[in-house]
Amino acid sequence: MIKFLDEYRDPELAQRLVEKIRNRAIRSLRLMEFCGGHTVAIMKYGLRRLLFPPVELLSGPGCPVCVTANVDIDKAIALAQKPEIILTTFGDMLKVPGSYSSLQKTRAEGGDIRIVYSAQDALEIAQGNPDKKVVFLGIGFETTAPTIAASILEAKSREIKNYYVLSLHKLCPPVIKALLDSGETRLDGIILPGHVSAIIGSYPYEFIPCDYGIGGVVAGFEPLDLLLAVEMLIAQIENQKPTIEIAYRRGVKTEGNKRAREIMEMVFDITEANWRGLGRVQASGLTLKREYQDFDAEASFVLEAAPAKEPEGCVCGEILRGIKTPLNCKLFGKQCTPEQPVGPCMVSSEGSCAAYYLYGGSNNGR
């Protein structure tokens, strides 16, 4: 038994909770799970199928690999093509098709691209290769950004001068707002990301009930955690009291992790960011502060790339906005599979297309 995991996977309890939710939902409800990690758990444990109807679960834009715009993937590829550069990245990015190539192809063509588990590993590679410039491909949300910020502070204090970050970090609350503003998807509630919230806490979501009249519940990643969040959202809907709650109190405090936020704020300024499917969203990204410009890959290298283009037929962008599911894509499971991905939603282990493909394909969707 693994502590803090297995207790939250009890199948009998889960079955009882599912029945309770199904009997209770007063009308058909559409809830969005923002986070890609939630999408995976929901598909893996068949929760989407178990709850529908009356509860429909829609995936949102919470997969950092998936929301990285092609223009930014092209930039990373352009960096990796430079002979003086070692590009370090989390493994998920390798196979993502950019406009014309991928990091994997670039590596096969001789680019020095190394998969790392942590920004710390990238820092060690920089220290071990003083004649090279080591760029870390900084993707991720508020969960990951503080770790990258910490690596930059460490590079500064250890005087590692050949370490750079290409900061493509993105922030969750502003994109939730953009999604709700677009009005494209009618939602009755949002299952809020667990580990993003471990950092930012639950206050930054207060605008959701205030401005849009729907509730949000922060959820953990085990099946019972997710069912609890759904149950809490339904209770809010029944009582007509939309609010922000936490169903994952063992991991998330209302105030979040202050130290992590301080470190993030020391290194990064908030800026506009470019999201796949959503375009440019104000104040939804992070860029290195002036004091840390020497570590900023964008400021340190000239990057020329041809205009970005999207993979033909791929509806990943619409899936990320919750207006389509992978089953609405003609290429799903045919031309597009995890082995031969057309779009990023099939590459990332957290992408909706990959989760649908892996855990049941067409039967699981409905």
Partner 1 sequence: MCLAVPSQVKSIEGPYAEVEIGGVSRNVSIILTPDVKVGDYILVHTGYAIGVVDEDEAQATIKLFNELSG
In the complex, which residues of this chain contact ligand SF4 (CB under 6 A)?
314-316, 319, 326, 329, 331-332, 336, 342-343, 345-346, 353
Q: Which is nearer to ligand SF4, 141 or 332 (CB)?
A: 332
Q: Which is nearer to ligand SF4, 237 or 354 (CB)?
A: 354
Q: Is the backbone peptide bond immediately before 53 cis, with ω within 30 degrees of 0?
A: yes
d(CA 168, CA 68): 7
| Cβ contacts of 31 within 8 Å, gap of 6 or more | 55, 56, 57, 58, 187, 188, 189, 190, 191, 230, 233
d(CA 278, CA 285): 13
Place of tokens 């677009």: 182
Q: Which residues pair with 345 in a beta bridge?
A: none
- Residue 158 makes contact with partner 1 by CB under 8 A: no
CB of 301 to partner 1, least distance (A): 24
| Residue 314, contacted partner among ligand SF4, partner 1, none, CB below 5-8 A by kind | ligand SF4
- Residue 96 makes contact with partner 1 by CB under 8 A: no
DSSP annotation string for 179-246:
HHHH--S--SEEEE-HHHHHHH-SGGGTHHHHHH--EEEE--SSHHHHHHHHHHHHHHHHTT---EEE
CA quadruple 328, 332, 336, 341: dihedral, nearest 10: 70
Give the interface size with partner 1 as a residue count (CB under 8 A): 56
| Residue 336, contacted partner among partner 1, ligand SF4, none, CB below 5-8 A by kind | ligand SF4
CB of 306 to partner 1, least distance (A): 28
Other beta carbons less than 10 A from residue 189's beta carbon: 24
d(CA 239, CA 258): 33
Q: Which is nearer to ligand SF4, 128 or 361 (CB)?
A: 361
- Residue 87 makes contact with partner 1 by CB under 8 A: no
| Residue 346, contacted partner among ligand SF4, partner 1, none, CB below 5-8 A by kind | ligand SF4
Helix (H) or strand (E) holding 164: strand 163-167
- The Cα-based distances of 86 to 105, 127, 356 in angstroms read 15, 12, 34
Contact 47, 231 (CB under 8 A): no
| Cβ contacts of 214 within 8 Å, gap of 6 or more | 187, 188, 189, 190, 208, 242
- Residue 219 makes contact with partner 1 by CB under 8 A: no
- Residue 97 makes contact with partner 1 by CB under 8 A: no
> Binding residue for partner 1 (CB under 8 A) from 51, 57, 63, 288?
63
- Residue 224 makes contact with partner 1 by CB under 8 A: yes
d(CA 256, CA 199): 5
CB of 311 to ligand SF4, least distance (A): 6
Within 173-202, which residues bind partner 1 (CB under 8 A)?
Answer: 193-196, 198-199
Binding mask 270-299 for partner 1 (x = CB under 8 A): ------------------------------
Interacting span for partner 1 (CB under 8 A) from 241-249, 324-332, 337-345, 358-366: 241-249
Q: Name the residues that contact partner 1, by CB under 8 A.
A: 3-5, 7-8, 10, 13, 16-17, 20, 35-37, 62-65, 90, 92, 117-121, 139-141, 143-144, 146-147, 150, 193-196, 198-199, 221, 224-225, 228, 231, 247-253, 257, 259-260, 263, 348, 350
